[in-house]
Each structure stands twice: as structure tokens, then as C-alpha cells.
Chain A
Amino acid sequence: MIAVKGLRKTFTTHIKEPGLAGSLRALVKRETVTKEALKSVDLEIQQGEIIGLIGANGAGKTTLVKILAGIVHPTAGEATVLGFKPWERNNEYRRQMCLIMGQKAQVWWDLPALDSFLLLKEIYQIDDRLYRENVEFLAETLMVKDHLKTQVRKLSLGERMKVELMAALLHRPRVIFLDEPTIGLDLSAQKAVREFLKSYQREFRPVTILTSHYMEDIKELCPRIVIMKEGSFVYDGPLAEVQRMLGDEKCLSVTTRERTFKFTIARTELAARTAEIFAQNDVLDLNIQDPSIEDVIESIMKNGTAL
């Protein structure tokens, strides 16, 4: 469904020193920097699959998503989604796709959601029956029935995000790009959005790419993850595998009278090292744990490999 090969994107930006002097200098002689937002990435995603795209800010996640959604042209490389080149912006493609950005509102701010939906109904040429069914179904599962006639700007952030999700899914897209859908939401709203996405995925089996900084989102929704670092993929595989990569590591946390320290050791050394620690320190507390997924992913993001 989604096939990406050797996709690259570079941005050229101008830099200037701060202040008036810097501005004047930049007027005469400009310095440019070229930033490689994507350095030749490859990716295959099948129907019904949902993948989690993670990485630090500026790692290239959003750029990748924007290319696949047809907003940005790539510098080089190939990509097809449902057989279409996204940046050619074929209407047939756009009718089957949606992009949800947690940071950018898409429903009309000053209008009740239902009015925005009517506009979308026209834009996507959704037939009356499907439209009614979908509004009914989505409002029900997202529990926003009572908010659809209120001006969007009067809704809480959580309610607004749910309305955004509704708006994006009205035409029942086969490809969904979700860019940080839970950003800024409180825990219960996050949970509601996650539960919704999970059941939606189960029911309609779209291809979904989800980017998020909340590990909970990823753990709940994505059996497969792709980790990005500085425009490249450093990991692409099952989430469970990440945990197994560290199956033979243990995290130790030791509290002595003076301080608390943490470190990671191989499972085989566990007995010897703990004995050593007890012998050399006045231990108050000792904790042995498996490394958490968060730790592992953070380490992959930072070092490019696991620990």
C-alpha cells in the first residue's frame, strides 16, 4: 500500500547573525545552510498495518509524513501510496487519504463542527447515507454527540481533537497520517483518543502512520515501529523485538547511605556483580529490573543502536 524507495528531501535555509548589523550583512552576502531532512529512506507498509514513527524533534518524521500526504515535493527518490505518487496530488488519491495534525486545526474555528462537516461532505462528495452513518458512528464512539452544534472555539482541547478526528475520518480514508494526535491532551482524553484509534483500526483496517512523542500511544497502538534519527531510519521492526534486543540486560538501581546510582549489566554477570556491590557498599536498597521500552528507544534515538 505504501512503498518508499530512496526518498530524500533537502531544505536550503538562509542564516543570519542576530541584530541590525547581522541583518545588513545578510542583505549583501547571504550564507545558506542545506539541511538534509530525509537521507534516502526505504519503507514498505501493508494494508491494515499501523506503524509508529518516532524520533526526536527535527528527526524528519513530519517531513516524511508531509511528502506521503502530498504536501511537500521530495528532492529525490520514489514513493507510491495506493499506487499514486502523492505529490502529484491526484484527486482520486486525496479522496482516500487524510492527514491529522495535532498542532494544526482543520475544522473551522468559528463554526459548529457540523457545519465544517457539511463542507467536507461536499468536498469529498460523500453520499448522504454514508455521511449520516459515519457521523452517527464517529460521534457515538468518540462520545462527542453533544458538542457538534457548539462553535469549535468554545470546546475544550480534548473535545476539539475528537472533533478533528471525526472531520478527518468522515470520508472513511484508506490511508491515515496521524501527526501527534494526543499532543497537549490530558491523560483521560489521551486514553479516549487511543481507544478510539484502536477500535477504528480494527474495524476498517486502513494503513496508518502515527507519529507521537508519547510512548503510551506507541505501545498501545503500534505493533511495528520505525525510529528516525537525523533523517535516517535507525530501526524498523516489531516493537516486541526492541524489548527482546535487551532480553539479556538488567537495570540495577542501588541506594547506599551516600547516594543512589543506576546502571545496566549483562544478565550473566548479575550474581557476581550484586555480590560485589553488597561486599563493597553499605546497601540500603537494591532494585533489579528489565530495561523499559522507553529507555531502549531513547537510547536508539540517541546512539543509533540499542544501548
Chain B
Amino acid sequence: MEFRLDFTFRIVMDLIYYAVNIAFFKVLFLHTELIGGWTSEQMMVFVASYLLVDAVNMTVFSTNMWWLPFYINRGELDYYLTRPVSPLFFLSLREFAANSFVNLLVAMGIFIYAIANFSGPWGLANLAGLILLLINGVLIYYCIQMLMIIPVFWTQSARGFVDLFYTVGIAMERPDRIYRGWLRIFFTVIMPFALIASYPSRVFIEGFDREVLLHLTTVSSGLWFVMLGIWKRGLRNYASASS
């Protein structure tokens, strides 16, 4: 919240991003009835879901994730490593982005609108499931992002990895049914962007499915442990460049 103009501009930027995303699918639906098996209204639930995940991530993690590689490279992790708190926790939640919080409210609005306009049958259990799984989605997004940052411990710069993350990250914004074969395995297991918003939306739209839930739990927890393991290895390699 340091600079007023910058603050406002960032909010406007994100609003444009939301509008473009919604418009993109609206335009496609002018030409077709179904995309990836979903109608326009179902698609809105999905779009609102990933916008919400994105907004939470922007508010809670993004600033911290941006700084992390610099901290590692310049030896500024020292401060966090000597405190009696998990350094991962401390570093990930250190700074809260106030400007994105405004966008988070907007994203919530879009989400509520999408749910309210959804005419298919749904119960409170579906909604609760969706919200829980979206929180899980935020964690998946965080884990993948961390996995792209942690190599800094060895490479000293993660520009390539972080660029890869943002490029491939668009996969989160597409319904998972469009991926087949190897691509499907990649986006549902290796870099599980499809599990962030698409799978949760399916649970809301199509109801609970044992296979989907099993897949979500296994891959999410697997990813979490892999991330923690690699983070630990990274810290072993931390050289604390300095004075």
C-alpha cells in the first residue's frame, strides 16, 4: 500500500484480467454449446473457481514468492533460519498484499454470482466440497510454485523455472477434459494444474466421485511431501552468501 497510484493501477490490472478471462469463454460459447463437456453456466463456475484461487494466491503468497529467490541468492535467509519458527511458514506468509485483497473481494463476488446463476442441481455438501477443494487447490498452486523456486539453492537463479511455471500455469485455466494421453498425466500428476480448479468444479457440477477424490488426495499429499523434502535438501545446500 506504499504508493497510491500504483496501488490503484494494480487493482485495475487484475480487474481487466478477470474480465478477459470471462469474456474469453463467453465468446467461445457464441460458437458452441459445450466445451470439455461443460455448458456456459457450468463453465462460469469453473472460471470463477480459478479466479478465486488466483486471487487468494496473489493476496497471500505472491509477494513472498517473488522475493524468495533473492533472499536465497543473497544469503538473507539467515534471519529466518535462526528463529524458532518454521522458516518455510515464515517466508511464505511474511507479507500480505493489500491491493490484491480488494481483488479477492471482487473474485469472491464473481464466485457467488456464478454459483447463484447455476441452474443444475446442487446441495450445500457440493458447495462445501468445492470450497474445501479450492483451498486444497491454493496449496497445490503454492507447492508447484515452490518447486520451481527451490532450485535456486543450486542454480542461484530460478528465472527459467519461474517463467516455465507461469507459461505452463495457464493449464489451470482450461477444463481438464481437454487434456488426453501424456498431457493428461502431466497436468493431473506431474504438474497437477488440472487439480487446482477443474477437478473441484467437477465435484460441484457432477457430484462426488470416489475416483476423483482419491486422485486429488493422493496427488496433493504426494506433492506436499515432495515439496517439503526438496525444501529440506535445498536448505542443506544453503551457502549463506554474505559478509
Contacts and interface: CB of A to CB of B under 8 A. Distances in A.
B82 A104 contact: no
Contact of A71 (B82, B85, B237, B243): B82
Contact of B84 (A72, A73, A101, A123): A123
Contact of B242 (A69, A91, A103, A106): A103
A99 interface: yes
B96 to A, nearest CB: 14
Nearest to B235: A73
B82 A72 contact: no
Contact of B243 (A70, A73, A123, A179): A179
Interface string A135-177: 0000000000000000000000000000000000000000000
Interface in A86-114: 89, 91-92, 94-95, 97-99, 101-104, 106
B91 to A, nearest CB: 13
Central interface residue in A62, A66, A94, by most chain B CB within 10 Å: A66
A214 interface: no
B155 to A, nearest CB: 11
Given A95-B84, A123-B85, A103 B243 contact: yes
A115 interface: no
Contacts of B78: 66, 69, 71, 99, 101, 104
Contacts of B84: 91-92, 94-95, 123-124
B79 interface: yes
A200 interface: no
Given A99-B78, A104-B79, A62 B242 contact: yes
Interface in B159-194: none
B210 interface: no
B81 A123 contact: no
Interface residues of B, number: 17
Given A103-B243, A104-B243, A179-B243, A69 B82 contact: yes
Contact of B83 (A11, A92, A123): A123
A236 interface: no
A42 interface: no
Given A62-B242, A104-B242, A71 B83 contact: no
Nearest to B236: A73
B127 interface: no
Contacts of A69: 78, 82
B85 A70 contact: no
A181 B85 CA distance: 25
Nearest to B243: A103
Nearest to A14: B156
A36 interface: no
B239 interface: yes
A72 B242 contact: no
B243 A180 contact: yes
Contacts of A98: 82
B238 interface: yes
Interface in B49-81: 76-79, 81
A72 B238 contact: yes
Contacts of A124: 83-84
Contact of A11 (B76, B236, B239, B243): B239
Nearest to A66: B240
Contacts of A106: 79
Given A71-B238, A72-B238, A73-B236, A97 B243 contact: no
Nearest to B74: A104
A71 B235 CA distance: 8
B79 A72 contact: no
B243 to A, nearest CB: 4
Interface string B218-243: 00000000000000000111111011
Contacts of A70: 81-82
B145 to A, nearest CB: 24
A283 to B, nearest CB: 47
A180 B242 CA distance: 13
Contacts of A103: 242-243
Nearest to A97: B82
B153 to A, nearest CB: 12
Interface of A: 11, 62, 66, 69-73, 89, 91-92, 94-95, 97-99, 101-104, 106, 123-124, 179-180
23 contacts: A66-B78, A71-B81, A71-B82, A72-B238, A73-B236, A89-B81, A94-B82, A94-B83, A94-B84, A98-B82, A99-B78, A99-B82, A101-B78, A101-B243, A102-B243, A103-B242, A104-B76, A104-B78, A104-B79, A104-B243, A106-B79, A123-B84, A180-B243
Given A11-B239, A72-B238, A101-B242, 8 more contacts: A71-B78, A71-B81, A72-B239, A91-B85, A94-B84, A98-B82, A101-B78, A104-B243
